[in-house]
């Protein structure tokens, strides 16, 4: 929550007392409440169905009520998925996601720091403008030249082919969010550190880094989600089965076992589970950071 307030400091709206607001919103119309509960059902029903069905065997799937709990729960579907090389695809996804996010966030952070500290420089303002432009452009539309580039670099069908463009695509949003946060670090803090003889790198590490940690986590999770779930890049830039990432593996698995719906749904559960666990751990960070990044 501190995240949201710190970044909205630039907004012109005055501060309000939370207790009063809570009281006000408590009487929010019943219409919103109704929508809220209906939406919950719309969200949860398919999710419940996925999980329940993934524990049924095929005959139960055809005969049982779709929402009934499995009469004879089985983990065979999960076994089939795991035996279909999913651990390897999982590893690939981890490599690509971590390999993208660590460098992407590091270089975006450095760029954001430079842009804020060098305010006034025409060059840096131009660079910032370029990154902002990247937000308005559907970068996926550039896939054909990216494909050509990757071929020319002899990276086709490698995990690095997925990592490099993914880093580039995560830069605009990361820089935007991080500059918003670094801008809120009081200038006097930088001044006093400089008087003490700190270099720019020292200030980046000793001052900007600890103060923007929540934003770094948010940006990492948000971009990580996009990379983990990415489909187009793996589809076009890789070819061999051992380079598959999870979304692509899901798709091919579904093509192979389309009749065996419970197994297909088990693969959906298995590929989503790590993300759900991560989400459970870091959701506060993600939700509040998201609000801070967009809701102005």
Partner 1 sequence: MVLPALVLFIVFGVVPLVGVLVLSFTQWDGLGAIHNAGLSNWRSVLSDSQLPHSILVTFEIMILSWLVQTPMSLLLGTFLAGRQRYRAFLAVLYFIPLLLSSAAIAITYKALLDPNFGLGPGLHLGFLTQDWLGRSNLALGVVIFIVSWQFIPFHSLIYQGGVRQIPTTMYEAASIDGAGRMRQFFSITVPQLKYTIITSSTLMVVGSLTFFDLIFVLTAGGPGDATRVLALDMYKRGFMSNQMGPASVIAALIVLLGLALALLLRRLGGSTTASQQEGA
Interface of this chain with partner 1, residues 157 to 186, rule: CB under 8 A: 164-165, 167-169, 171-173, 175-176, 179-180
- C-beta closer to partner 1: residue 41 or 195: 41
CB of 83 to partner 1, least distance (A): 19
Q: Does residue 256 bind partner 1 (CB under 8 A)?
A: no
Q: Report the alpha-carbon distance of residue 112 to residue 249 in Å, rounded.
A: 36
Q: Check residue 59 for interaction with partner 1 (CB under 8 A).
A: no
- Please work out the total of residues on this chain that contact partner 1, with binding judged by CB under 8 A: 109
Interface with partner 1, residue 41, by CB under 8 A? no
Q: Which is nearer to partner 1, 211 or 261 (CB)?
A: 261
Q: Does residue 17 bind partner 1 (CB under 8 A)?
A: yes
Candidate segments 10-18, 69-77, 79-87, 187-195, binder of partner 1 by CB under 8 A: 10-18
Q: Which stretch, 77-85, 94-102, 106-114, 211-219, contacts partner 1 (CB under 8 A)?
A: 106-114
Binding segment (CB under 8 A) for partner 1, from list 70-78, 81-89, 124-132, 187-195? 124-132
- Contact segment (CB under 8 A) with partner 1 among 80-88, 189-197, 212-220, 250-258 equals 250-258
Applying CB under 8 A, among 59, 65, 122, 188 the residue interacting with partner 1 is 65
Of 2, 6, 24, 211, the one binding partner 1 (CB under 8 A) is: 24
Q: Least distance (Å) from partner 1 to the CB of residue 272?
A: 5
């Amino acid at each position: 929550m501190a995240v949201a307030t710190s970044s909205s400091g630039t907004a012109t709206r005055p501060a309000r007392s939370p207790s009063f607001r809570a009281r006000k919103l408590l009487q929010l119309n019943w219409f919103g409440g109704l929508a809220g509960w209906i939406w919950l059902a719309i969200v949860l029903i398919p999710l419940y169905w996925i999980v329940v069905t993934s524990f049924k065997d095929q005959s139960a799937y055809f005969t049982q009520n779709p929402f009934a709990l499995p009469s004879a729960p089985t983990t065979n579907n999960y076994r089939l998925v795991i035996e279909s090389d999913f651990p390897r695809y999982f590893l690939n996804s981890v490599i690509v996601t971590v390999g993208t996010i660590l460098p992407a966030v590091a270089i975006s952070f450095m760029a954001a720091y430079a842009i804020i500290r060098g305010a006034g420089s025409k060059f840096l303002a131009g660079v910032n403008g370029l990154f902002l432009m990247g937000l308005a452009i559907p970068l996926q539309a550039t896939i054909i030249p990216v494909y050509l580039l990757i071929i020319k670099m002899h990276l086709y069908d490698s995990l690095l082919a997925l990592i490099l463009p993914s880093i580039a695509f995560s830069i605009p949003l990361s820089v935007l969010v991080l500059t918003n946060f670094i801008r809120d670090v009081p200038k006097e803090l930088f001044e006093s550190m400089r008087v003490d003889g700190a270099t720019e790198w020292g200030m980046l590490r000793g001052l900007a880094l600890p103060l923007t940690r929540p934003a770094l986590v948010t940006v990492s999770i948000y971009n990580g989600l996009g990379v983990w779930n990415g489909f187009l890049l793996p589809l076009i830039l890789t070819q061999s089965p051992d380079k598959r990432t999870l979304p692509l593996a899901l798709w091919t698995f579904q093509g192979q076992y389309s009749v065996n719906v419970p197994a297909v749904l088990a693969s959906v559960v298995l590929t989503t589970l790590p993300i759900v666990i991560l989400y459970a751990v870091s959701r506060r960070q993600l939700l509040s950071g998201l609000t801070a990044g967009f809701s102005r």
